[in-house]
Structure 1
Amino acid sequence: MPRQPNFIFIIADDHRFESLGFNCSEVETPNLDRLAKSGVVFDNAHCQGSLHPAVCVPSRASLMTGRNIFALRGGSAHEPTIGIPEDFDTFPQLLAGAGYKTHAVGKWHNDFGSFTRSFVSGDRIFFGGMSDHDKVPLHDFDPAGKYGSTEPRLEAGLSTDMFEQSAKSFLENVGTDDPFCLYIAFTAPHDPRTPPDGFKVDPSSVSLPDNFMPIHPFDNGATVLRDELLEAMPRTPEAVRQHLADYYGMIKHLDNAIGNILETAERAGALDNTVVVYTADHGLALGQHGLMGKQNVYEHSLHIPLIIAGPGVKGGQKLSPLVWHADTRATVLDLAGLQTEANSDGGSLMPLINGNGDVPRETFGAAYRMGQRMIRNERYKLIRYYQSGTHDKDELPGLPTPTLGSALEQIFDLESDPGETINLAFVPEMQDVRAQLSAALDAWQTQVGDPLARKDAS
């Protein structure tokens, strides 16, 4: 019987799909480009958004559990943020139960209990959302999971370099007796974006996005959150170019670390039987549509990288079906020879990769808090906005109250308008498409238990 494959699972923080070297010549990612050539790139991978201001929280929980964001419940006040329910198995937890050595490095933005259930070892663990990259509060691995009772430590160095070192150390010492899953969760390229010397990018070399706007054209209900206040309104071209240059520099530094990790795996003799997965929790606006953050349902914020390479994966492919985090989880389990639970919201992508699978879904839905909903198919996209009064019931203590918001709809033709700049919602010829997408959005909201689902929707 063939040995189960190892996994090196790499997740970045805030890395959008368009900001990869094979998509944008201004971004240097030679190592991820090589990984893409040797494996499969999913051109339409997405996150599902968030009911929480921090989009990474439910995105990572969905990736771990295969469940939609409406199925995930909150944690306690003692936890860093929203918890994963005990009856929702994470994919590292299932791998560990099948004999895998599951090892974690870097960020965990969910509860301590789910982390402890998921990993049998780890190093330089960061519980939380963000920090300065040279002041990351780190924990050693504790098999008892008593992280809330111990103070984190600070180390000299940048987060990307430290997580790289920990990953390489694991690979140099892991051995070959049991299969392993090395989970590396970088905090880059999340702000504060401080690329080190040698990786900085000149802002004068950076192009403004085609959909750059000084300010968003209407109130989307999420204009006073932290990310949107990182730059003054209206945004200026000079400021956005600087943000993009710093972002690209962080990605360049991250890519270099990934290359070093994969080289270490190859030297250790582990790469031949290792599946490498690269993805991100969500994307980021950085000047597109006049926005800075990911608290929206435009493509720049939902569209994420997904690259899978290794044994059993037919390489050299770019596949365009609509997929998301739950599918990534199911694919890892499938490659390990494990079944995906019947209540999972995702399915394995291996049939697609092998050329004998159906498209997993015709439409994909996403949300941001109680003010924005989205549904899209391969070509068209509908965004529905809700005004204040419908989205003010979900507020969490200490977080800013959403702005008034706007009750309107947008429809975009992503084929001719990938930057989502031309709203076709009121074009007479688009009313059939609008009705079809509206019905699909109603059905998705009802299916996932969205509190904003229309009561009269069939």
Structure 2
Amino acid sequence: MNKKHSPQRPNVVFLIADDHRDEAIRAFGNETVHTPILDSLAASGTACRNTHIFGGLTGALCAPSRACVHTGISLFRAMIGKEVMNREHSSVIRPDVRLMPQTMREAGYHTHAVGKWHNDKASFSRSFEGGDKLLFHGMSDHTKVPVHDYDPTGAYPKEKEYIERTFSTELFSDAAVNFIEDYLEDRPFFLYVAYTAPHDPRTAPEPYASLYDKADIPLPPNFVSEHPFDTGDMTVRDEKLALLPRDEDEIRQHIADYYAMISHLDAQIGRVIEALKAKGIYDDTLIVYTADHGLALGQHGLMGKQNLYEHSVRIPLIFRGPGVPEGQQELALASNIDIFPTVAGLCNVDLPKETEGVSLCPIFAGETEGVRSIVCSVYKDIQRMATDGRWKLIRYYCSPKTNTGTERIQLFDLLNDPWETQDLSADPANAGEIERLASELASWMQACSDILQDMPVIPGTS
């Protein structure tokens, strides 16, 4: 295993995208999308290809997913009480929970933020000692971005917000490059760069907008015109972005626009990397690339991320830099709450005692092939998921609050059916797999204080 020299405390550039699913990177087997920069990061680092989001209790998955990344703990414990079920855009991280940038700051890092912070301002303020072009919203038009300058008081009043017209991805990359070029301190830095791409509106600038012709876009193998049953959230905003039943030509255009946003994002990340190289600190910097969640875009007849299929719960996770093996694609199971412990391990920083995530560093060091035997995800009070990497169980509930949803399960063999096209739950031969995963899911729900922990995992059971 080829490892690079690892200084005791590397700089960190933490890049997080919005809506970028794991599959939409060329290095990961997608032959349509162009991502040369991300491909090069994967080739010179390690890609954790089986990383899942913990999930969320609202349709706005950005905020809870980012809270899990920031804190390394269950969203049920990271966010303020069960109140999150009643707020569509719940974002508040508990004041007694320490975040990744806060922990890095306390360990001596200069912490600096750029771009989207979809959680509360108090958690931001205790985490960062600097920042630029700060977006305290879930989304915006990419050429009308409401931002704040860094406010040392932590107030960020509405009257100090102003509109930037530079395309969001370029705006945030400009700010990141400026920070790198101007940084003169001896202590290492933790630079957090949170993009709003490739989230809609998918309006990439030229020449990227014309890079993909919808006629050349293949439909995914799991494309269907309509989802076969009520998932419990069929009328959420994202599902209204395309006509029903889904039209093949319209879906191809959506995918073309999505890829255009990703390719533009990829090029702008390249500018950040070039700034590190020009500064002479590229090889002394840990680069992390990930996303808050994935997206359907026509898969399973869905458009959004408000589901627990692989296209929505699997995210890219790439590490490149000191202590990271080169050219590895790891299939070990991971959760997004494992990102913080892994960054801390690579930076020789002690974790807060409440951290629940597991460091992936033992995998990088060749000490083990995996750190988890199962990962699970949640969505609202209507869906739960458990997978061991091959078999995957999705449990659907009827919501007593909205009277939507379906009492049923699905079982997929991801080894032989990675696109989740064949539900095998009705086959008696698979009863053992269902029972095993259901037991694992029930144990996980109890351990993480899931609000549904007392509900039966399999319909008809008590």
Q: TM-score range by the shorter chain?
A: over 0.9
Look up the match of 2:139. Answer: 130
In 2, are the aligned partners of 1:340 and 1:347 still within 8 Å (CA)?
Answer: no
| Deviation sequence 1:370-391 (CA, Å, 0-9, x none) | 00010111200000100132xx
In the alignment, the residues of structure 1 paired with residue 301 and residue 13 of structure 2 have an alpha-carbon distance, to the nearest angstrom, of: 36
**CA shift at 1:404, angstroms?**
1.6
Find out whether 1:332 has 2:343 as its counterpart. yes
* Match status 1:4 vs 2:14: no
Residue 446 of structure 1 and its aligned partner are, at CA, apart by 1.1
Q: For residues 288-307 of structure 1, what are the structure 2 equivalents within 5 Å?
A: 288-307=299-318
1:381 to 381, 392, 406: 392
Pair 243,455 (structure 1): closer, same or farther in 2 beyond 3 Å: closer
Q: Matched residues in 1 for 2:190 and 2:94: separation? A: 22
Counterpart-to-counterpart distance in 2, 1:32 and 1:455: 42
Q: What secondary structure sits across from 1:423 in the alignment?
A: coil
Report the TM-score when normalising by structure 2: 0.94
Residue 341 of structure 1, CA deviation: 2.9
Could you tell me how far apart the structure 2 residues matched to 1:78 and 1:94 are?
28
Offset of residue 177 of structure 1: 0.8
List per-residue Cα deviations over 1:381-431 (Å, max 9, x = no partner).
000100132xx1xxxxxxxxx462100000000011111111111101100
Give, in whole Å, the separation in 2 of the partners of 1:151 and 1:80: 22
Counterpart of 2:77 (choices 66, 71, 79) is 71
Q: Which residue does the alignment assign to 1:215?
A: 226
Query: Counterpart amino acid of 1:314?
Result: P
CA distance in 2, matches of 1:55, 1:403: 21
Counterpart residue identity of residue 362, structure 2 = P
Contact 1:80 1:111 in 2 (8 A): no
- Alpha carbons of structure 1 residues 116 and 232: separation in structure 2 relative to 1, 3 Å: same
- Given that residues 56 and 64 in structure 2 are in contact (C-alpha distance below 8 angstroms), is that contact kept between their aligned partners in structure 1? yes
Is 2:243 the partner of 1:253? Answer: no
The code of the aligned residue for 1:18 comes to E
Report the Cα distance in structure 2 between the residues aligned to 1:427 and 1:26, rounded to whole angstroms.
35
Asked if the contact 1:219–1:403 (Cα under 8 Å) also holds between the matched residues in 2, the reply is no
Taking structure 1 as the reference length, the TM-score comes to 0.94
Contact 2:46 2:318 in 1 (8 A): yes
Q: Tell me what 2:178 maps to.
A: 169
Q: Which runs of 4+ in 1 moved over 6 A?
A: 75-80, 455-458
The match for 1:141 is: 150
Instruction: Give the secondary structure class of the aligned counterpart of 2:215.
Output: helix
Corresponding residue for 1:105? Answer: 114
C-alpha distance 174-3 of structure 1, shift in aligned 2 (>3 A): farther
Secondary structure of 2:147's aligned partner: coil
Match of 2:65 in 1: 59
Q: 1:114 to 1:32 in 2, by over 3 A?
A: same
In 2, Cα distance between equivalents of 1:197 and 1:366: 37
Identity level (%)? 45
Residue 42 of structure 1 corresponds to which residue in structure 2?
48
Which of residues 337, 340, 344 is equivalent to 2:355? 344
Counterpart residue identity of residue 251, structure 1: I
Deviation at 1:454, TM superposition (A): 3.0
Matched letter for residue 239 of structure 1: E
Cα distance in 2 for residues equivalent to 1:135 and 1:349: 38
Q: Which one-letter code corresponds to 2:35 in the other structure?
A: T
Quick check: 2:59–2:88 contact (8 Å CA) kept in 1? no
Query: What residue is the counterpart of 1:178 in the other structure?
Result: 187
Q: 2: distance between equivalents of 1:150 and 1:233?
A: 41
2:37 corresponds, among 14, 26, 31, to 31
Paired residue secondary structure (2:350): coil
Match of 1:405 in 2: 405
Q: Is the contact made by 2:12 and 2:286 (CA closer than 8 Å) also made in structure 1?
A: yes
Q: Tell whether the 8 Å contact from 1:411 to 1:424 is kept in structure 2 after alignment.
A: yes
Contact 2:332–2:369 (8 Å) recurs in 1 = no
Q: Distance in 2 between matches of 1:283 and 1:180?
A: 29
For each residue in 1:259-317, what CA deviation from the matched residue of structure 2 results, as whole angstroms up to 9, or x when unmatched? 11101111011212100000000000000000000000000000000000101112111
Q: Is 1:236 the equivalent of 2:241?
A: no
Structure 1 distance, partners of 2:91, 2:170, is: 28
Residue 189 (structure 1) aligns with: 198
Cα 1:79–1:115, aligned 2, differ >3 Å: closer, same or farther? farther
Contact kept, 8 Å, 2:60 with 2:88, in 1: the verdict is no
Task: Tell me how large the CA RMSD over aligned residues is.
Answer: 1.9
1:15 pairs with one of 17, 20, 26: 20
Query: How many Å apart are 1:128 and its aligned residue?
Result: 1.1
- Please say which of residues 229-238 and 247-256 is displaced more in the overlay: 229-238
2:285 corresponds, among 270, 274, 289, to: 274
Q: Which letter maps to 1:211? A: N
1:31-79 deviation digits (Å, cap 9, x = unpaired): 0000000000111011111112111111100000011122133389999
Stretches of structure 2 that go unaligned for 5 or more consecutive residues are: 1-5
User: How many residues were matched structurally?
Assistant: 447
From 110, 129, 146, give the equivalent of 1:120: 129
Q: How does 1:359-370 map to 2 (within 5 A)?
A: 359-370=370-381
